[in-house]
Amino acid sequence: MKSVTTKPVKPKKPRAKPVDREGQEQAALMQEIELRYPEVFELIYHVPNGGHRVKAVAVKLKAQGVKAGIPDLVLPMARGGYFGLYIEFKATVDPAPVSPSQQACIRRLNGQGYLAIVCQGHFDAMEQLRAYLLLPRTEVAA
């Protein structure tokens, strides 16, 4: 009977899970909005377009209307002559670049009478939101 020689198996080094800094900061922003501006918190929402998905799910979502480049947060409160506010949220640390599809979408939204902006981090987004809320309400003529 022959003996089988096996090579020792090297243990794989565990990979550190990537940290979703953008998601963490955006969650902190939403908590602050909930505390400071409950009326805004009731209306503002996140558009979950990003992230990695199984191909079948991505195809299904695209068929349902998910589009690349749509900003992360939407506030349907009309202020300062704008119909609403769109925020493309980027992390403070190691922010992802604004993609060409995001830039194009921001241009289209601004062209339609919305204020669409890019904010880098929780504090920048909070300052931009405060400034937007200080604008006079946009009145709709009847």
- pTM score: 0.83
> What sign does the dihedral 80-120-96-29 (CA atoms) show?
negative
Residue 7 CA neighbour count, 13 Å, CB half: 3
Gyration radius of the chain over CA positions: 22
User: What tens digit of pLDDT does each residue of 105-129 get?
Assistant: 999 999 999 999 999 999 999 999 9
Q: What's the fold here for domain 21-134?
A: Trna Endonuclease; Chain: A, domain 1 (3.40.1350)
Nearest-angstrom CA–CA distance, 5 and 49 = 51
Q: Where are the domains of the chain?
A: 21-134
Using one digit for the tens of pLDDT, what is the confidence trace for 20-68?
A: 888 899 999 999 999 999 999 999 999 987 666 677 877 787 788 788 8
Which DSSP state fits 41? Answer: H
